[in-house]
Structures are given as C-alpha cells and as structure tokens.
Amino acid sequence: MIVKKNELDDSQIYLPSDTCIICNKHLEKVGGERIIAQQSRGIIIRNEYQGKENAKYPRRSFILSENPNKYLVVWGEKELWTADVIERAKAEYKRCERSWFCQVCGKRTCGECGSPINVPMGSDILSDDGQSSHVAILPIDPGCINPKCKKYKRLA
C-alpha cells in the first residue's frame, strides 16, 4: 500500500478505495469521476466531530481513532448512509483508503440516459493520487459520457 503525505502539512493522503462506498461498483464500470462531497451529500474525514449544522443536510460523525482524533463525517439522504456503508467506510480508512461515491449515487447523471455527465458540477472529486479538487457549477450543458446518448459530448 502506497501512503502519500500532503506536501503542505505532512498529513497522510489516502488513496481512493476500489469501489463506490454506496453501490459497491468500480469506477470503470460506472464511468465518470469519484465524488467525495457536494452540498447535499458527502463523506469526508475530519479531526473534529461535526454535528447537525444544516437542518436540510445534517452531518453525522463516527469516530475512527482517538489519538489523533479522526472522524468519518457523512451527510445527505439517510438511505445512502446505512450502518453497512458506514462500517465499510471505517474498514477502508483502516486500510488507508479514502471512501468515495460514484456520479450515479451522487446524482450527477444525464437526464436522458442516466449515465454520468462529463463534468460533475458542484462536486469535490477524488483523483487517482488521493488529491481532491472542486468542480464549479457553470451555466453550461456538460453533456453525457455515453456515446449512444443524444446528449453525448466528447471532451477534448
């Protein structure tokens, strides 16, 4: 297992787990990007407990370690974050893996065919090397990744 360090503060960087924490599918099967956070749903690791700060999308924290303090924090639809999903996420953390969810589970899909859209707007995405970045919400049609769909757009 390769464990990287964050260049800014020497904290551990967790590489992505093999499958979506919610549907348990590989990214190669679903397509699109790995999502870790959106306004309406997310799964992150924090050094402090986070509770119900937002009534519409309440956060729940689960202890991962006590020295140092690490919490698995989730928010969004309760049916996504079942006890089984939480236990799998805890196990992934212990294996130094970062949990993520696919664009289908994150509802960043084509309205025509249900495949992932080219750009999962309004999402923090997780790259292969464990780094994350934010995709802004833009006033564009991102198109679909499915070449059989009428909304398909090939990205250059």
Give the Cα separation of 91 and 50 in Å (integer): 20
pLDDT of res. 3 = 44
pLDDT of res. 53 = 67
Whether 128 has a pLDDT exceeding 60, the answer reads yes
Q: What are 18's two structure tokens?
A: 């093999």
pLDDT of res. 125 = 97
Residue type, 110: C
Whether 139 has a pLDDT exceeding 50, the answer reads yes
Whether 6 has a pLDDT exceeding 50, the answer reads no
pLDDT of res. 122 = 97
β partners of residue 123: 38, 135
- Locate tokens 């986070």: which residue? 50
Range with the lowest mean pLDDT among 7-16, 95-104, 127-136? 7-16
Per-residue pLDDT tens over the stretch 79-119: 999 999 999 999 999 999 999 999 999 999 999 999 999 99
Q: What are 20's two structure tokens?
A: 């979506």
Q: Are 114 and 105 in contact (CB under 8 A)?
A: no
Give the Cα separation of 18 and 125 in Å (integer): 15
pLDDT of res. 45 = 92
Establish whether the linkage from the previous residue to 68 is cis, with ω within 30° of 0: yes
β partners of residue 42: 37, 75
Residue type, 93: Y
